[in-house]
Amino acid sequence: MLKVLYCVIRRDLLLAFRRRSDVLTTLFFFIIVTTLFPLGVGPEPALLRTMAPGILWVAALLASMLALGRLFALDYADGTLEQMLLSSEPLTVIVIGKVIAHWLVSGFPLVLLAPLLAVQFDLSRDAIFVLIASLLIGTPVLSLIGAIGAALTLGVRGGGVLVSLLVLPLYIPVLIFGAGAVGAQVSGLGADAHLLLLGGVLAASAALAPWATAAALRISVE
C-alpha cells in the first residue's frame, strides 16, 4: 500500500507541474489578497497586527478552495477515476495519496509564503512562528475536508459553487482555531490551546475524511 501511495502522489505531482498555471493561480490569489488589505486599511501598525491573523487565514482558506476543483475532476473526465475504483488496491489509500499531493501543491506553498507576507502586518517573530505552525496543521485539514466536498459534487453542473457551500461551514472551526492561535500569541496569551485543538481537528479529519471521500466517489461515479 505504501508503494501505491507513493505512485499516486508522484503521478499527481507530475501532472500538477505540467499545469503550472493552476498552481500559480492559487499562489497569486493568496499574495494579492493579503497585499491589498494593508494598502486599503492604512499603515497603522497596531491595527495591522490585530487584523493580520484573520486576513492571512481567510486568504489561505479561500486560496485552498480554488484548487479543490482539480482534485478529482480531471481523473473523472478522462476515465482514470473509474479505473481507480476498479483497482484491487484500497480506494482510501488512493484518496490519501491524492489529498497529500493536493496539499503539497496548494497548501504547502501557502505555508512557505505566509512568513514573507506576515512581515507587512508587523507581526513579531514569535507570532510568525505560530502562524507557520497553525498553517502546517490547518491546511491539511482544509484539503481533507475539501476532498469530501469535491467528491460529492463530482460531475455536477456548477460544482464549484456547491463545493463552496458544502465545505465552508466545516472550515469554520479550522479558521477560528488557526487565526485564534496567532491572535492569542500577538496578545500575549499563548497559542498552545488553539494549536492543540487544531491538532485534534487534524487527527479527526485524517481518520474520517479518506473513508468519507471514498464513499462519496463511489456514489458520484455510479
What DSSP state is assigned to residue 67? T
Contact 173/206 with Cβ under 8 angstroms?
no
Domain that holds residue 52: 2-221
Number of domains in the chain: 1
Spatial contact of 216 and 167, defined as CB atoms under 8 Å apart: no
Which pLDDT value is given to residue 41?
77
- Write out the chain's pLDDT in tens, 222 residues: 788 888 888 988 888 888 877 778 888 899 998 888 888 877 787 888 888 888 889 999 988 888 887 788 777 877 778 888 887 788 889 899 999 999 998 889 999 998 888 888 888 888 889 999 999 999 999 999 999 988 888 877 666 677 878 888 899 999 999 989 988 888 878 888 899 999 999 999 999 999 999 888 888 777
Closest to 61 measured CA to CA, from 176, 157, 198, 153: 176
pLDDT at 77: 77
Sequence-distant (6+) residues with CB within 8 A of 33 are: 55, 58, 59, 62, 63
Say how far apart CA 196 and CA 160 lie, in whole Å.
Answer: 32
Which residue shows C-alpha cell 462519496? 216
pTM: 0.88
